[in-house]
Amino acid sequence: MEIWINPACSKCRSAISLLDAEGAEYTVRRYLEDVPSEDEIREVLDRLGLEPWDITRTQEAAAKELGLKEWARDDSSRDRWITALAEHPKLIQRPIITADDGSALVGRTEDAVRDAMARK
């Protein structure tokens, strides 16, 4: 299992604390430093079963500068969103946990983190 985190994020710190408390084996990826490629973002989106706009933090300054709220949310715009996430990783919702069963989820709640740990 891998968890994409921003150490400054309280939800990320909570997820890590829970994983540690449960003795889970995982790898940390500080995605602001080890920025995911467009292909990695596509793979995670496929595992999440979501679209890029579903995991975009639209309140971030970069999102406002780019005007993301006005961008189309359709298949023809998908690559544009993915490029924006790769170029501005702070826009990626966090934490994202890739589970051992090949799925992934956004671990913003204790229940979501426990769900990730249960996926074998």
- The catalytic position among 1, 2, 9, 109 is 9
Beta strands in 2-108 (DSSP E): 2-5, 27-30, 96-98, 104-106
Is-contact 68 93, C-beta < 8 A?
no
Q: Are strands 2-5 and 27-30 parallel, antiparallel or unpaired?
A: parallel
Q: Rounded CA gap, 91 and 55, in Å?
A: 8
Residue 12 known to be catalytic: no
Catalytic residues, by residue number, are 9
